[in-house]
Chain A
Amino acid sequence: MKILVCISHVPDTTSKINFTEGDSRFDTNGVQFVINPNDEFGLTRAMWFKEQQGATVTVVNVGPADTEPTLRKALAIGADEAIRVNAEPTDGYYVAKQLARVVSEGNYDLIIAGRESIDYNGGMVPGMLASLCGANFVNTCIGIEVDGNSANVTREIDGGKEILKTTLPLVIGGQKGLVEEKDLKIPNMRGIMMARKKALNVLEPVEAETMTKAVSFEKPAPKGAVKLVSPDNLDELISLLHNEAKVI
C-alpha cells in the first residue's frame, strides 16, 4: 500500500497571533512552526501501516522552502520520503489542486490529511482533494483499518460515531483518536540521522486558480475583567447568569 500523508505547517499552538502589513499578513516573527496536530495523528497511524502492513509512506507539503524542517521532522518520525511543492499555499483549492497532481503521479492508495489546519481552519483541503482525484472520502476520521482494497473507517459525528465501509483510493480527514495521544511518535536521534539521507523532492507547482483570498485580519476585542462571585454566595452567580447574561 502506498500512503501519502499531507502535512500542513502551522504555528505552534501556544503562538501569539499577530498580523503585519496593515493587518493583511500573519506575522511569522518569533513563531515556532510545527506539524499540524491533526496531521501528526495521521502520520503516526501511517507508521503503524508501515510497520504492520509494509506500507510505504510519503509526506507532502505545499509551501515555500522554510517548511522543510517540518518535512524533515516527518522523515525523522519514519516517513520514507518527502515531497515539497514549491508554492505559497494561497487557498484551499489551490493546495488541493497541487496535492491532486502529486496523488495522480504517485498512484497513492491511501491519502491521510487532517480534519483541518489549526491556522486558517479551512477544513477544505481533504474533501476538495478527494473530489479532484475521484477518490472516496471520510472526514473527522478517528479509526481506519485497511484490508486489501477495502477500508473500515470510523468517523466522528455530532453526538457519536459511525462505522463506514469503503474502498481505496481513499482520502481521510483525520484527527485525534486515529491513534492515542500517548502513542504519538516523536523523532529519536537515529530517526533524525536517517532523515538527513532520505529524499526530499521539490516539485514546481502546476497552474491552478485561487478562489478565495484573505483580505485582512483582526483580533477579537479585548474582554472586560472577570466578575468574581464568592463561593458562599452562589445565588448571586445564578442571578447574574439569569438577569445579566441571560443564558439560563
Chain B
Amino acid sequence: MSVLVYTESENGKFKKTAFEAASYASEVAKLLGTEVVAVAVNADNPGELAGYGVDKTLVVKNDKLSNFNEKAYADILAQAAGKSASSVVILSSSANAKYLAPVLAVALNAGYASNVIALPESTAPFTVKRTAFTNKAFSLTEINTPVKVLGIAKNSYGVIAAEGKGETEEFSPELGADDFSTEVVSVDKVTGKVSIADAEIVVSGGRGLKGPENWGMIEELADVLGAATACSKPVSDLGWRPHGEHVGQTGKPVASNLYIAVGISGAIQHLAGINASKVKVVINNDPEAPFFKAADYGVVGDAFDVVPRLTEKLKEFKANNA
C-alpha cells in the first residue's frame, strides 16, 4: 500500500504546491500506517522531497512531457498508482492539478474530492472536509471507493518539514499516441510577476480607483510587498485590467496569507472568492462599505492619499527589517 503524491515542477524546480502536497501526503500516510510515493516529472532534484516526508520518488524524465498535458500525466500517475498499490492520491489545487484530477480519478475508478482543507477526519469511512458554495460553507465528504483522489486547497495545510526515506527510482511509464492528442502551441506567461495562484500576498483594486491610469499605485504597493495584483469583476469587465486578474466567485479564488482590497465595496460575490485568505485589509473611503464587515484591518480613507503613503512607509519598514 502507499499514498501517492503528484509533485509539480516548473523548469525543473519543484513548485511550492509540490511541497505542500507532499507534506499533506506524509501525514495521511502516517494515519494509514503506510509510505509516501511521489511522482516527479522532469524535476532536477527529486531528492529534495525527502525533507517533506517522501519515502520514494518515481522520477520520470521525458522531453515529450515538457508541456503539461492532462492525458499523459493522468496516464503516468495511474500507472504509478497501480505499481505502488496506492489507496490515496494527493494533488494540489493548481490550474494543472485541477485539470488532471478528474481525468485521473476516472482512470483509477476513484472517488475525487476537490478543495480539501484539512487532514481526513476519519479513514474508515474515509471523510474529508472541503469548501463548498465558494467558501460560504464547508462540507464533510465521504469517499467510498477503494482508491481516493484528493485535491488539497492552496495554503490550507502548509509546507511542513518531515523526514522521509528519500529513495529515488527511475520510472518510464508507457505512453500512447492518444496521450498527446492535445498539443500546446504556445505559452504566454507573464514573467517577473507573481501570479495570483502562487502569491502569499495579493493587492487588489476595485472601481473606487476610477480608471486604469490609476493602477500605478496598486502595482507599486504590490511591488514592495512582493505581491500579485488582482481586481474586482467590474474592473476587468471594463477592460481596465486583464481578465486573469478578476477574483471572486466567478473569477479566480484567492487563498493568500494577506489580501489588501483598495476601493472595493465588498459585494458578496467578491468576498466569496477571497474568504479563504487568512488576513484581509480594506482601504475604502466609505465606512459603510460591506468590506469592513469581512476584513480584519481597515482604513477609512481616500485610496489616492492612503496607498502612496502606505507604500512609502512599507519601503522604510522593509529597508529596516531586511
Residues of B near any A CB (own CB < 8 A): 67, 70-71, 74, 94-96, 98-103, 105-107, 110-115, 127, 131-145, 151, 181-190, 193, 195-198, 200-201, 225, 233, 237, 243-244, 246, 249-251, 257-258, 268-269, 272, 275, 278-279, 281-282, 292-302, 305-306, 309-310, 313-314, 317, 321
Contact = CB atoms under 8 A, between A and B. Distances in A.
Given A212-B112, A247-B257, A13 B188 contact: no
B141 A38 contact: no
A158 B197 contact: yes
A131 B75 CA distance: 12
A224 B317 CA distance: 27
A229 B135 CA distance: 27
A216 to B, nearest CB: 5
Interface string A156-167: 111111111111
Contacts of B200: 247
A70 interface: no
Contact of B133 (A119, A158, A181, A216): A119
Contact of B297 (A118, A156, A241): A241
Interface of A: 11, 13-14, 17, 19, 26, 37-38, 91-93, 96, 118-128, 130-132, 136-140, 142, 152, 156-167, 173, 175-177, 180-182, 210-220, 223-224, 226-231, 234-235, 237-238, 240-242, 245, 247-248
A137 B70 CA distance: 8
Given A160-B187, A166-B183, A212-B141, A139 B98 contact: yes
Given A173-B99, A220-B135, A234-B310, 17 more contacts: A92-B112, A122-B114, A127-B106, A156-B244, A162-B185, A162-B186, A163-B188, A166-B181, A166-B183, A180-B237, A210-B144, A214-B141, A217-B132, A217-B140, A218-B137, A231-B301, A237-B310
B112 A211 contact: yes
Nearest to B135: A220
A159 B193 contact: yes
B195 A158 contact: yes
Contacts of B100: 127
A145 to B, nearest CB: 12
Given A158-B197, A159-B193, A177-B243, A227 B99 contact: no
Contacts of B301: 231
Contacts of A126: 102
A215 B140 contact: yes
Contacts, number: 262
Contacts of B135: 220
Contact of A127 (B102, B279, B296): B102
Nearest to A161: B188
Contacts of B297: 226-229, 237, 240-241, 245
A162 B184 contact: yes
A213 B106 contact: no
B306 A234 contact: yes
A127 B70 contact: yes
A203 to B, nearest CB: 22
B306 A231 contact: yes
Nearest to A232: B301
Secondary structure type dominating chain B contacts: mixed
Contacts of A165: 182-183, 185
A217 B268 contact: no
Contact of B139 (A93, A216, A227): A216
Contacts of B293: 226
A127 B133 contact: no
Contacts of A211: 110-112, 143-145
Contacts of A218: 137-138, 140
A184 to B, nearest CB: 10
B289 to A, nearest CB: 11
B244 A127 contact: no
A235 B187 contact: no
A238 B275 CA distance: 22
B104 to A, nearest CB: 9
Q: Which has the most chain A C-beta neighbours within 10 Å: B101, B103, B139?
A: B139
A129 B246 CA distance: 28
Contacts of A124: 101-102, 105, 112, 114
4 tightest A-B contacts by CB? A127-B102, A159-B195, A211-B111, A231-B301
B115 A238 contact: no
28 contacts: A19-B137, A26-B133, A37-B249, A123-B102, A139-B99, A142-B243, A158-B197, A158-B198, A165-B183, A166-B182, A176-B250, A211-B143, A212-B112, A212-B143, A212-B144, A216-B139, A220-B137, A226-B282, A226-B298, A227-B298, A231-B300, A231-B301, A234-B310, A234-B313, A237-B281, A245-B296, A247-B258, A247-B278
Contacts of A128: 102-103, 105-106, 112
Contact of A229 (B115, B188, B237, B299): B299
A159 B296 CA distance: 27
